[in-house]
Structure 1
Amino acid sequence: MLNVLIVDDEFHAQENTEIFIQKYFSGLLKVIGKCSDVKDALVAIHNQEPDLVLLDIQMPNQSGLDLLDIVEPRNFDVIFLTAHEEHVLQAIKKDAFDYLLKPLDAQEFQKTIFRYLSKQSSEKKKTKKSEVLNISAFSTIYGLEFIKHDEISYCEAQKNYTIIYKTNGEYITLTKTLGAIEELLPNEQFVRVHQSYLVNMKEIQRFIRSESKIVMRSGKEISVSIRRKTLLFNFE
């Protein structure tokens, strides 16, 4: 089941969106929160880590577009909800999965969510296949780069891009967020230790508990966030 956060300053719009989810996608999507402004949304995103954010564009003080400027790297998909068609181009530039015009139309809502779920299912199938082959294909500005999992030391987020650092010292810049790369790599080998870092467990040399950081075999030191320490302890 995928977790959904609804961000909309209009209470009735929040309720209608949640009703659509419960009516058409019960068992597939779960509403984990509803927020009325960017400030509350940032807290919810940090604490609950949604898979999908249904995001209103025009809100008081700060807009939905402002929220995406603040949240970097972004580890969730976005479907914009807007009553103003003039905002559509801006939404597309923010690398949103899609947008829906308000008031929401039930059929259009279902079509969009079905496409989103289909995308998620397809990515999971790719992940399973890559785990068997121990290799993944990554999109770069030049094309596809095929990299063996054991050749990856760690991945670092750079806004909406990701840099893969290889064990041989080379690095490759990918046109995907770190969250998207995390979906491609096997989670029994690659662990998110920080909002900006995904590491290969085989390449960790030591964990310095007193400083809450790990040292990679390459010598790179990476901070471990408090919320993610338990992931490392599972391997102790």
Structure 2
Amino acid sequence: METKALLIDDEQPNLDNLQALLKTYCPQVNVCGTALNAEAAKRVLYTEQPDVLFLDIQMPQQNGFDFLRSLPEYNFEVIFVTAYDQYVLQALRFAAVDYLLKPLDINELQAAVERAIKQRRLKEQNQLLHNLMQTLKSGQSQDEPRIALATAKETRFVKISEIIRCESSNNYTTFHLSDGETLLVCKPIYAYDDVLTQYGFIRCHQSHLVNKPFIKSWKKEFGDFLLLTDGSEVPISRGKKEGLKKALHV
């Protein structure tokens, strides 16, 4: 799976050099953006939601540590990239995956990337387990079952009965709710497949999960689509037709 990275450094040559090294020696990393200062970094951070930050420490106006302190939460791993070695202890306090000194050593860069990817996967597994436990706990109580959805700004506990459908786009999933709200979660749709199918959701397409009670009809003109009660049309893939027929008893 591709790992998205944001590079933050106040010197453009450093950004260009790091981007070139990652492209050549760490092809599993996709640089989703670069930034020359903290404010620019925040804009990219919230729009792209990267998995890893390569962060310079000494920057004008707001250094790397101040930048991290200004964020409400960390949904990414941090690799500090700096020309100075006196910040190691401070970097450890921010739970940095690694601390790389300029000029960059290729072996150290590759090792840091691998550690970041492993740490990211571990956190994702823990989050999925947490989500499942929240769902199971809710199901054991008198309340309707809920699922924990971690967005860029908060973790929302949503009633499963209020989810109309889920739509995937690469490593992101958009949850469409019955009140018209949408929630964008930085997880692929398959991460929710097993949990939601237990509650009547149907995988009608590689990129779509639908909640059975919200299905209004099966349209067969100009292709196969499910018409949902909110007016949306969801495609039905050829490989999912037979399973869908069984689920809908048609």
Q: CA contact under 8 A between 1:7 and 1:53: conserved in structure 2?
A: yes
Identify the match of residue 198 of structure 1 among 156, 159, 163.
156
Tell me: CA distance 1:14–1:190, structure 2 relative to 1, closer, same or farther (3 Å). Answer: same
- Determine if contact 1:152/1:200 at 8 Å carries over to the other structure: no
Q: Which blocks of at least 5 consecutive residues in structure 2 are unaligned?
A: 164-176, 190-208, 215-250
Q: Assess, with a 3 A threshold, how the Cα gap between structure 1 residues 115 and 193 changes in structure 2: closer, same or farther.
A: closer
Whether the 8 Å contact between 2:37 and 2:62 is mirrored in structure 1 is yes
Q: Given that residues 151 and 168 in structure 1 are in contact (C-alpha distance below 8 angstroms), is that contact kept between their aligned partners in structure 2? A: no
Q: Give the secondary structure class of the aligned counterpart of 1:30.
A: strand
Q: Counterpart of 2:87? A: 87
Aligned: 1:150 with 2:159: no
Give the alignment of 1:1-236 within 5 angstroms: 1-26=2-27, 28-121=28-121, 126=125, 136=129, 147=133, 149-152=135-138, 190-192=148-150, 195-202=153-160, 204=162, 207-209=178-180
Residue 104 of structure 1: SS of its match in structure 2? coil
Whole-angstrom CA distance in 2 between matches of 1:152 and 1:92: 37
Q: Which has the larger radius of gyration?
A: 2
- Matched with 2:199 is none
Task: Answer yes or no: is the 8 Å Cα contact 1:18–1:31 preserved in 2.
Answer: yes
**Rounded Cα–Cα distance in structure 2 between residues aligned with 1:151 and 1:59:** 46
SS in 1 for 2:86: helix
How far apart are 1:193 and its partner, in Å? 5.2
Task: Please report the RMSD computed on the Cα atoms of aligned residues, expressed in angstroms.
Answer: 3.6
- CA drift at 1:167: 5.4
Task: Summarize the Cα distance change of 1:9–1:148 in structure 2 as closer, same or farther, 3 Å threshold.
Answer: closer
Aligned counterpart, 2:237 = none
Give the direction of change, closer, same or farther, for the CA distance of 1:203–1:98 in structure 2 (3 Å limit). farther
Q: 1:49 to 1:60 in 2, by over 3 A?
A: same
TM-score normalised by length of structure 1: 0.61
Once the two structures are TM-superposed, the CA of residue 19 in structure 1 deviates from its matched residue by: 1.2
Greater relative contact order (Cα 8 A, min sep 6): structure 1 or 2?
1
- Counterpart of 2:12, as a letter, is F
Counting matched residue pairs gives: 174
Structure 1 unmatched runs, 5+: 139-145, 154-165, 170-188, 213-223
SS at match of 2:74: coil
Greater mean alpha carbon deviation, residues 67-76 or residues 198-207: 198-207
Measure the CA separation in 2 of the matches of 1:194 and 1:30: 19
Residue of structure 1 equivalent to 2:206 = none
Give yes or no for contact 2:6–2:31 (8 Å, CA) kept in 1. yes
Change (3 A) 1:204 1:33: same
What per-residue deviation string (whole Å, max 9, x for no partner) do you get for residues 24-65 of structure 1? 121x11011111000100111011111111000100111011
Q: Deviations over 1:176-235 (max 9, x none)?
A: xxxxxxxxxxxxx543456112334427598544xx5xxxxxxxxxxx66x67xx9x975
Deviations 1:118-163 (A, max 9, x none): 3345556x46xx97xxxx379xxxxxxx94632159xxxxxxxxxx
Q: What's the TM-score, normalizing by structure 2? A: 0.58
